[in-house]
Amino acid sequence: MNNDRIGARLRSALGHAFGAETVIAGEAGYDDARRVWNGAVDRHPAMVAFCRTSSEVAAAVLAAREVGVPLSVRGGGHQVAGLSVCDNGLTIDLSTMCAVSVDGGISHAGGGSLLRHVDTANAQAGVVVPAGVVSHTGLGGLALGGGFGWTFRNFGLTCDNIVGAEVVTADGRIVQAGEQDDADLLWALRGGGGNFGVVTRFDLGNHPLRDVLFGQAVFAVDDLPRGVEHYVRTMATIPDAMSSICITRLAPPIPGLPPEVVGRPVVMIDAVWSGDIDAGEEPMRRLVGDGKPLTTRITRMPYTAVQTMQDDLHPHGRGNYNKSRYLTTVDDTAIKALREAGNTVPGPHSQIEILRLGGAAGRIDPNATAFAHRDAAYILNIVGAWTDNIVADAHIAWVRDTYKAFDPVGSDAGYINFLDAEPDRAHSVYPEPTYARLREIKRRLDPDSVFRGNVPITV
């Protein structure tokens, strides 16, 4: 069946009473409706349905099943391989379901909220929900896969803070997940990806926080070993209130950086202290002031400011390709690989990220949530990003070569939200007991595999 016929059949299955806006192939707005964050993605759904309520989501799920076509669910559209949009099927878009309210220690967020919706509503109440570092990212995909950001070592991952949810299941029911409702489903939503239904409302535990300390250090690539060793050594003993990232890339124009360094390979440490500000000054100085960086800065700022400071570095529309894995250690081999990658980085938007894990997120029992790799020491994320498709192959080759260079210290296991389209890695994303339990829940709630998630759980 071609897209025209599928679109017409979906319209008929939805019926006249279906109030949500729908766009099918060939209609005005179709190309905008199928777009995702990654400009290299070019999928052609038969229909995009902009659902506004859980009942509309349920009707859309049932229509896709009736017509017998693939179904995908789009929150913020940031999954790098564009898996939230399907070819020749129905894409449920949740972008209008983005209302957020704060009720004491719980923030309720619509399933299509972006992080900026959550952060803005929380800021009014002086609280935060730990999440990612770019505010145009969707809460849905991020929270269901894990959620690392500026506060995970202090307050846990985003998924650790899901305390309840409203979910539309594969048979069109609208159910609640929670410790008192369906605790197994709640467990699965904490890291199991979009495999169990459409989350139309997240209930998220929040934490009092208004201002943070932001710190940044920049080292020239010739000093990369010193900079990275300093990062590794210092983060090993720093309090949990510090979350940080070590980035190797071509230097963007940063205040205080000598102009001759801009555009040259550098290593940057970016860090946020989310505890008591006075208590954070000494550890922040230790992390970004010591080790003889080229420049260093430490600034107090509102949490919402730190959450948006990277937005323009990762805009919609560029081509992107990522590869990611956990690292057991960052030793001389890793440093050699980083230096080589830094010296061959193919463009100003590509970068290698290393995150020191642990803290509060690392202390959670690996069986307590579907996100199970609690003892991983580091995440390696290699980001290839380009504005001109002519250089796409060079970026992709650099990402793959760099990934391989980390083989001696790299695990096959990876963080689901940084993977490309890599369904074969399901068994490394989830250790065997976790996968077995996810499978049981999948068999109960979605025996026909209507929802595929980034990394599908097979029944």
Which residues contribute to the site for ligand FAD (CB under 6 A)? 37, 72-80, 83-84, 94, 111, 132-134, 137-138, 140-142, 144-149, 193-194, 198-199, 314, 417, 453-454
d(C-alpha 405, C-alpha 453), whole Å: 29
Q: CB of residue 139 vs ligand FAD: minimum separation in angstroms?
A: 7
Buried b (16+ CB within 10 A) or exposed e, 135-170: bbbbbbbbbbbbbbbbbbbbbbbbbbbbbbbbbbbb
Q: Between 148 and 386, whose beta carbon lies closer to ligand FAD?
A: 148
Q: CB of residue 392 vs ligand FAD: minimum separation in angstroms?
A: 17
Q: CB of residue 332 vs ligand FAD: minimum separation in angstroms?
A: 28
Buried b (16+ CB within 10 A) or exposed e, 220-254: bbebbbbbbebbbebbeebebbbbbbbbbbbbeee
Q: Between 133 and 338, whose beta carbon lies closer to ligand FAD?
A: 133
Q: Between 81 and 224, whose beta carbon lies closer to ligand FAD?
A: 81
Q: Between 114 and 217, whose beta carbon lies closer to ligand FAD?
A: 114
d(C-alpha 73, C-alpha 443), whole Å: 20
Task: Please answer whether residues 72 and 115 qualify as being in contact, where contact means their C-beta atoms are separated by less than 8 angstroms.
Answer: no
Residue of 128, 177, 190, 134 lying closest to 154 (CA atoms): 128
Q: CB of residue 110 vs ligand FAD: minimum separation in angstroms?
A: 8
Q: CB of residue 57 vs ligand FAD: minimum separation in angstroms?
A: 9
Q: CB of residue 16 vs ligand FAD: minimum separation in angstroms?
A: 27
Q: CB of residue 314 vs ligand FAD: minimum separation in angstroms?
A: 4
Q: CB of residue 211 vs ligand FAD: minimum separation in angstroms?
A: 20
Provide CB contacts within 8 A for 257, sequence distance 6+. Answer: 218, 251, 294, 295
Q: Is 347 helix (H, G, I), strand (E, B) or coil?
A: coil
Q: Between 3 and 79, whose beta carbon lies closer to ligand FAD?
A: 79
Q: Between 7 and 75, whose beta carbon lies closer to ligand FAD?
A: 75
Provide CB contacts within 8 A for 377, sequence distance 6+. Answer: 326, 327, 328, 329, 330, 356, 357, 358
Q: Between 228 and 416, whose beta carbon lies closer to ligand FAD?
A: 416
Q: Between 295 and 428, whose beta carbon lies closer to ligand FAD?
A: 428
